[in-house]
Amino acid sequence: MAIATETIRKPKIRHTQCFIDGKWQDAASGKTFATIDPATEETIADVAEGDAADVDRAAKAARRAFDSGPWSRMDARDRGRAIYRLADLIEEEIDELAALESLDNGKPVKDARAADLPLVIDCLRYYAGFADKIHGSTIPIRGNYFSYTRREPVGVAGQIIPWNFPMLMAAWKWGPALAAGCTIVMKPAEQTPLTCLRMAQLAQEAGIPDGVINVVPGYGPTAGAAVVKHPLIDKVAFTGEHRTAQIIMRDAADSLKRLTFELGGKSPNVILADADLEKAAAGTAFGLFFNQGQCCCAGSRVYVEDKIHDEFVARLTELAAGRRLGNPLSLDTDQGPQVDQAQFDKILSYIEKGHQEGAQCRTGGGRSGERGYFVQPTIFSGVTDNMAIARDEIFGPVMSVLKFSDWEELITRANDTFYGLAAAVWTRDISKAHDFARRVRAGTIWVNCYDVFDAAAPFGGFKMSGQGRELGEEGLKAYTESKTVTIAL
């Protein structure tokens, strides 16, 4: 591990209770759970462990705030201004929030500062500007009638988010929900509750009325399931594992909730021999190793054209081996620990499977250090399509490199997965780039780039990678219902 040159101060922990109806409160059961610093395995703070009773209080508060206003009936411009104010308050506290995110999640503070936080602020501003631009249309129906549609908020939104981008996932869900006039019951991930609670406080300071945003920290099968089953909640937006989404879909059946899912992936990243190989190598390493490999869209199946295979793997290996692992609060750290013991164990078990199945480990291949959930950046080459490391989402810094020679075969192999979140191709051949973009079944295609996100560009999955889209206008629509009004003239 590299020696830190400059380490920033540990942030203050201000909020550890449930935030319900504008008030901080303990869980009704009085229970708490520990949130851990994954770099040291030490407890950062004990946090209220909400469950069904707390979700019930939160859902009632959100329902009241929705049904009786003022949020859903507020002038849309004023609603937009409150969201802008929240973005401004987050910006004022950007360094502190980046440090808190880094502490709770383990991501390098420089990434939180340069990527997560700017995207959070931009997402909220993007949707703030949308608040007064949500409108229906007039429809020329048969007969002497005037018919039009209104776009109305869907109501109370239950939102369940994961731990890999805690604040960003909150922003992706709060932005469109708030702009549409919905109220919110959010359950943050049990691994990373701290920044979401801080955001709730800032939302209150920004003038978002009590009851509009409620945050109930706790576990999935208790607090999360209670959100999904609660009859006063109209919609659930979930990000996480597809197996959890399957449980949520079953649990939501009784109340027929609207559901949107943003799930995992095993995204193909394809490098053709004619690509700018230096850029392609840098983009490929970034597309997999960024955020400790804990990205739903990680480019974890790297297909390299045979002509350049060995040279390209050598470049990737050098980049991976050069990554500096260490204290996430050090400004020169490139890679921090995995989020928790469970993820750490899961990743190491996949590395073991890679060895057993006969892939060649080019670099890494084990844990790093004795303390904290650090995993070495690992590259396997000689991976074939049926190996577990080519099929399963590992969600860690483990890259699988596969070889290809034939383009048609490559397209078939790229699509041979039940996932369909993202895909990338690196080439100077514009026809191949377009062919790839058209034929690969995934919600996002990157050409000569990776992990380019923007609040205006919809994101989500084909197949078992999701349902519906987040971000952009599509992301907003997922928080509205369309109402048709017809008037006899």
Query: What residues are annotated to the active site?
Result: 262, 296
Pick between residue 48 and residue 161 the one whose CB is nearest to ligand NAI: 161
Q: Measured at CB, which residue is nearest to ligand NAI?
A: 220
Binding residue (CB under 6 A) for ligand NAI from 15, 113, 187, 301: 187
* Distance, CA of 179 to CA of 476 (rounded, Å): 8
Binding mask 10-49 for ligand NAI (x = CB under 6 A): ----------------------------------------
Q: Which stretch binds ligand NAI (CB under 6 A): 55-63, 95-103, 221-229, 284-292?
A: 221-229
Contact 486, 147 (CB under 8 A): yes
Which of the ranges 174-182, 223-231, 311-319, 383-391 carries the binding residues for ligand NAI, by CB under 6 A?
223-231
Contact call for residue 301 and ligand NAI (CB under 6 A) = no
Smallest distance from ligand NAI to CB 244, Å: 3
Closest distance to ligand NAI from the beta carbon of 305 (Å): 28
State yes or no: residue 374 binds ligand NAI (CB under 6 A).
no
Residue selected from 18, 90, 120, 160 as contacting ligand NAI according to rule CB under 6 A: 160
Of 44, 89, 157, 189, the one binding ligand NAI (CB under 6 A) is: 189
Quick one: tokens of 7? 């380490």
Residues ≥6 apart with Cβ < 8 Å to 182 = 66, 72, 153, 154, 155, 156, 157, 235, 479
- 119's tokens: 């995207």
How many residues contact ligand NAI, by CB under 6 A?
27
> Should residue 221 be labelled a site residue for ligand NAI when binding is judged by CB under 6 A?
yes
264 binds ligand NAI (CB under 6 A): yes
212 and 58 Cβ atoms separated by less than 8 Å? no
Interaction between residue 393 and ligand NAI (CB under 6 A): yes
Q: Per CB under 6 A, does 451 bind ligand NAI?
A: no
Which range of residues in 2-10, 157-165, 252-260, 433-441 is near ligand NAI by CB under 6 A? 157-165
Q: Does 164 bind ligand NAI (CB under 6 A)?
A: yes
Interface with ligand NAI, residue 219, by CB under 6 A: yes
The whole-angstrom separation of Cα 60 and Cα 442 is 38
Half-sphere exposure of 39 (CA within 13 A, CB side): 22
**Judged by CB under 6 A, does residue 253 bind ligand NAI?**
no
Selected binder of ligand NAI within 44, 45, 115, 225 (CB under 6 A):
225
Collect contacts of 250-255 with beta carbons under 8 A, ≥24 apart: 251/225, 252/228, 254/229, 255/229, 255/230, 255/231
Q: In the set 130, 172, 395, 446, which binds ligand NAI (CB under 6 A)?
A: 395
Q: Which of 26, 93, 132, 241 binds ligand NAI (CB under 6 A)?
A: 241
Q: Does the footprint of ligand NAI cover residue 239 (CB under 6 A)?
A: yes
Q: Is 296 in the site for ligand NAI (CB under 6 A)?
A: yes
Question: Exactly one of 176, 220, 420, 443 binds ligand NAI (CB under 6 A); which one?
Answer: 220
Q: Which range binds ligand NAI by CB under 6 A, 82-90, 105-113, 184-192, 432-440?
A: 184-192
Stretch of 114-122, 243-251, 400-408, 432-440 contacting ligand NAI, by CB under 6 A = 243-251
Indicate which single residue of 80, 155, 240, 328 sits in contact with ligand NAI (rule: CB under 6 A): 240
Return the range that interacts with ligand NAI (CB under 6 A); candidates 31-39, 185-193, 195-203, 204-212.
185-193
Q: Please, what is the minimum distance in Å from the beta carbon of residue 289 to ligand NAI?
A: 16
In whole angstroms, how close is the CB of 248 to ligand NAI at the nearest point?
Answer: 5
User: Which of 86, 177, 213, 248 is in the footprint of ligand NAI by CB under 6 A?
Assistant: 248
User: Structure tokens of 261?
Assistant: 């899912």
Could you say whether residue 228 binds ligand NAI (CB under 6 A)? yes
- CB of residue 343 to ligand NAI, shortest distance in Å: 6
- C-beta closer to ligand NAI: residue 439 or 441: 441
Per-residue burial over 188-206, b if 16 or more Cβ lie within 10 Å, else e, is bbbbbbbbbbbbbbbbbeb
Report yes or no: 212 and 65 within 8 Å, Cβ to Cβ: yes
Q: Which residues bind ligand NAI (CB under 6 A)?
A: 160-164, 187, 189-190, 219-221, 224-225, 228, 239-241, 244, 247-248, 263-264, 296, 343, 346, 393, 395
